[in-house]
Structure 1
Amino acid sequence: MSDNSTTNIKEISPLKSEAPIIIYIDLKSPYAYLSIAPARQMLTQLGLIADWRPFVLDIPSYLGSAKLDRGGKKVTKQNRTEEQWSGVKYAYFDCRRYANLSNKTIRGTVKIWNTDLPAIGMLWLKSFADLEEQSSQGSMLERYIDAIFEPFWKRELDVEDLSVILRVLEQIDAPTDGFLPYAQGEGATLNTWLQESAFNKGIFGVPTFILPNEPAMDPQHEKFFGREHLPRISWLLDGRKGPAPDVAYHLNSEVDDEALAKCAAEPRMAPELLVTPPQLTTFFDFKSPQSYLALQGILALKGEGISVNWRPFV
């Protein structure tokens, strides 16, 4: 373990690292939570290390905010539009659908949490080890990420309480001497600078994957947002062998039929799944590049006996 030392802010660049990949995550993002395991699996398969970094989302700036009562069921305060509520509800539905495949629990948060303290905890641990040690299996950073994400998404962790972050560090046997003043001083300053500089470099969400070595070869492959890009990222990191893969969510090979059925059925069963032959209702917009890119894959479903019910959405 390296000795803890003051981190020079000027030595950190949002898009640069000695590791071949930078991974930005935020505790309050279920998408970040779901990306951790497949990202680790990819790194293990390729024999590579990563530079894991915190990024604190400003969710109210684009999705509004809401707060539930103490029971966690009734909204007591909110300033969201109907469109924002639709986006939030779908996000949780989507994440739970995939969480079911790996037996993860994702409960809607009771409010928009400030995750600066968990981010500072990450920076504290990173100051004790080099990137190779941070990326090793069972490292302090890995244990910290696991110890904080899982209970948070079960609504068991108040991450705005500094003493809670301290207890998590103690739980994983991490150094804690000096953490409290660090979190209120140097660590807070470093975190603020990192968030601002990352945002100014075009990082806006999590998980975001940065490939520091790509700009010299192909600038369009420097930055990826979302775990669906892991197949392409893996292809790039492995030397671009074979054809470039499309976006995809790789499923665990151990997922059984029962888990797949649960994934499809919760929180509600889509009536199209009960139709014979199977039918997929697809909303599209001609001005959407995502609709255009999805066209080939959707048309291929006909070869599997699935009919497509096309519906325009403007």
Structure 2
Amino acid sequence: MSTVKVQFLFDFGSPNAYLSHKVIPAIEARQGVRFEYVPILLGGLFKLTGNRSPAETTAHIENKRKYMMLELQRFVDTHGLTAYRMNPHFPVNTLQLMRGAVAAQREGVEGLFERYVDRMFAHMWEDGLKLDDPQVLRATLEADGFDAARFEAALGDADVKGTLLANTQAAFERGAFGAPTFFVGEEMFFGKDRLRDVEEEIARVKTSA
């Protein structure tokens, strides 16, 4: 694997982060790199930057809203992401989910974090579950074979909470304002539509190394 540092700042509440997650493995395979997944809290980042979600900012701009849906469908079609479905409960409060991601990362068990991320993205944007309902989340964790009680206990851990806040603050200080955000070294790219640019930057850095 290449030593190029590539980071993916994500929140499960972003459909574009989900779509990016599905495309990242192909980039990793082509470029011989591994993306570092960094959990952040999108709502917290919005507060820090004064930003708002596209659903809010385009609610009364019909042409722009229609174009955004068209652009999303083009991406889905291009990459064959036929499992994607808009979550009927959107927006979903992802605080506990993102703390869960940090907790899974901290466990240090090989593959645990990756499987948690993959399953939560799928449940959010393929299965359309209301994952901010504690009962739904517990049932989902149990069905996926996770230790639900252990996860629930970790959600209140001060270090878990602090790490998520620190990740979000660091993202803000580096210039991020939403998700998905990517860093190749210190070069920032925003949105799933910049994945081609991300890949080109990875290739450039590899060549110049």
Interval containing the TM-score (normalised by the shorter chain): 0.7 to 0.9
Q: 2: CA distance between counterparts of 1:232 and 1:238?
A: 10
Give the 5 Å matches for 1:115-264. Answer: 115-129=94-108, 133=110, 139-154=111-126, 156-176=128-148, 178-186=150-158, 187-212=160-185, 215=186, 222-240=187-205
1:90 alignment counterpart: 67
Q: Report what 2:22 is aligned to.
A: 37
Structure 2: which 5+ runs fail to align? Answer: none
Please report the RMSD computed on the Cα atoms of aligned residues, expressed in angstroms.
3.2
1:163 shift after superposition? 4.0
Larger radius of gyration: 1
Larger RCO, structures 1/2 (Cα 8 Å, 6+ apart):
2
Q: Which runs of 5+ in 1 are unaligned?
A: 1-17, 67-78, 134-138, 216-221, 243-314
Report the equivalent of 1:47.
32
Q: Percent identity?
A: 22
Using structure 2 for the length normalisation, give the TM-score.
Answer: 0.75
TM-score (norm 1): 0.53
Distance in 2 separating the partners of 1:47 and 1:80: 38
Tell me the amino acid that sits aligned with residue 233 of structure 1: V
**1:247-286 correspondence to structure 2 within 5 Å:** none
Contact 1:96–1:106 at 8 Å: present in 2 too?
no
By how many angstroms is 1:36 displaced? 1.2
Please say if 1:20 is aligned against 2:5. Answer: yes
Paired with 1:116 and 1:52, the residues of 2 have a C-alpha distance of: 17
Residue 126 of structure 1 and its aligned partner are, at CA, apart by 0.9
- Structure 1 residues 20, 167: CA separation in 2 closer, same or farther (over 3 Å shift)? farther
Aligned residue-pair number: 197
Residues 114 and 196 from structure 1, CA distance in 2 versus in 1: closer, same or farther, beyond 3 angstroms?
Answer: farther
CA shift, 1:115, in A, is: 1.1
Q: Indicate conservation of the 8 Å contact 1:96/1:105, yes or no.
A: no
Amino acid at match of 1:46: Q
Report the structure, 1 or 2, having the larger helix content.
2
